[in-house]
Amino acid sequence: MRVRGIVLPEREERTFRIDGDRLRTDPVGGGEAVVDGGWLLPGLVDVHTHPGTEEAKEGTFDDETLRRHLTEHRDAGVLLVRTPGTSARVPEWVDEDPELPRVRSAGRWLATPGRFFPGYGRDIGEDELVRAAVEEAESSSGWCKIIGDWKWNDPAVPLDLMTAAVAAVHAAGGRVAVHCQTAEGCHNAVLAGADSLEHGMHLAPDLLDRMAAQGTAYVPTLGVFGARADARRAEEPSGSRDAWLTGWAGMQSNVRAAHEAGVTVLAGTDSFPCGTVAAEAAWLARTGLPAEAAVGAASWAARSWLGLPGLTDGAPADLVAFDTDPTLTPEALAHPSRIILRGRVVA
């Protein structure tokens, strides 16, 4: 099979031969042209999604739900996902199934007392956090996810403990994602050297330069918060409601500021149904990320951050094609004309 089109972000016309599950550029030769023209992107990426677990099922995790969620991602052109925490470790059969997106998992959510939904993740004492973080990273795709804070007026995981956990995971060759929605939680995650901030409500702008310098990515998951904003505004004033709205406003203003500071901003949905990362990219663009960066946050930039190449010789044959340039027509990102996963035509 052959594919031809204008490759983003390079904006060069290229022709690839699909060799098994790899892309080849020389020699291209014959074969059926499954894409002939248009725009080619590396497969879309959702870096914050929780396939296999739904709130309606009280945190339970099962293979049927996992397969359904991953199929929803695939059918939308999302061919790589990072799962920053689930109720159970992602089973090995996922990586062996050629019909499903590639998965980078972070094991089970790590929740110290009072900092998560009871029973949803791995409930541990603070004295167990360092050891548990290494265990989850080593038993997954190299990631672990720490719930760094929870309620708006409760203390976050202490800085010295977060620093020790991050250092231990890094020493073991892993990476750390931190859920943070309070100013203290964001502060501690950044100063501890976390690899990604998930949500980042109340993130102080003066931390952005440090995030850029140390490579801490920002995953604001705007869509899931934006969907709740009107309902929160309609509530009676309270400490919780007012803190939430202040944090929501800060998240939006921080997107462009983070990009301008050199922080890697990425697209993650944290919501259901799965397969809606195009809508998250649109949120990023609406809040000030340049259009090309917003699309990249859900494609090539996210793949690079997770250690995979774009559309080059020898790269995985995971790509999506579009009839129009999605950086100029943002709504096009939700409507790929062709989806190819592991060298096989999906749609």
> According to the model, what pLDDT value does residue 235 have?
97
> According to the model, what pLDDT value does residue 272 have?
93
Global pTM reads 0.97
Q: Indicate the angle between helix axes 222-234 and 277-286, nearest 10 degrees.
A: 70
In order of their start, the domains of the chain are: 1-41+309-347 (2.30.40.10), 44-298 (3.20.20.140)
> According to the model, what pLDDT value does residue 93 have?
94
Instruction: Read off the pLDDT band of 309 (50, 70, 90).
Output: very high
Neighbours of 93 (CB within 10 A): 11
Partners of 218 in the β-ladder? 197, 265
pLDDT tops 80 at residue 30:
no
Distance in angstroms (rounded) separating the CA atoms of residues 229 and 226: 5
> 230-259 pLDDT, tens per residue?
999 999 999 999 999 999 999 999 999 999
Beta strand ranges found along the chain (DSSP E): 2-7, 12-19, 22-24, 33-42, 44-46, 78-83, 102-105, 109-111, 122-123, 143-147, 175-180, 196-199, 217-219, 319-322, 338-341, 344-345
What percentage of the chain carries pLDDT values higher than 70?
A: 98
pLDDT tops 90 at residue 317:
yes
Between 126 and 329, the more confident residue is 126
Instruction: Read off the pLDDT band of 120 (50, 70, 90).
Output: confident
Instruction: Read off the pLDDT band of 112 (50, 70, 90).
Output: very high
pLDDT tops 70 at residue 141:
yes
Between 329 and 311, the more confident residue is 311
Mean pLDDT for the chain overall:
95
Burial of 114 by CB count in 10 Å (0-12 exposed, 13-18 middle, 19+ buried)? Answer: exposed
Give residue 335's region: left, alpha or beta (phi > 0; psi -120 to 50).
beta
> According to the model, what pLDDT value does residue 87 have?
87
Hey, is 29 helix, strand or coil?
coil
pLDDT tops 70 at residue 97:
yes
> According to the model, what pLDDT value does residue 59 have?
60
How many Cα atoms are found within 13 Å in the side-chain-facing hemisphere of 293? 17
User: Which token pair is 187?
Assistant: 């502060």
User: Which token pair is 272?
Assistant: 């259901």
| Closest listed residue to residue 99, CA positions, set 64, 130, 67 | 67
| Closest listed residue to residue 190, CA positions, set 224, 167, 221, 214 | 214
Beta-carbon contacts of residue 141 (< 8 Å; ≥ 6 apart): 103, 104, 105, 106
> 165-219 pLDDT, tens per residue?
999 999 999 999 999 999 999 999 999 999 999 999 999 999 999 999 999 999 9
Determine contact, residues 203/252, Cβ cutoff 8 Å: no
Out of 26-40, 52-66, 265-279, pick the least confident: 52-66
pLDDT tops 90 at residue 58:
no
Distance in angstroms (rounded) separating the CA atoms of residues 86 and 104: 12
> According to the model, what pLDDT value does residue 55 have?
64
pLDDT tops 70 at residue 98:
yes
What percentage of the chain carries pLDDT values higher than 90?
A: 91
Beta-carbon contacts of residue 139 (< 8 Å; ≥ 6 apart): 89, 107
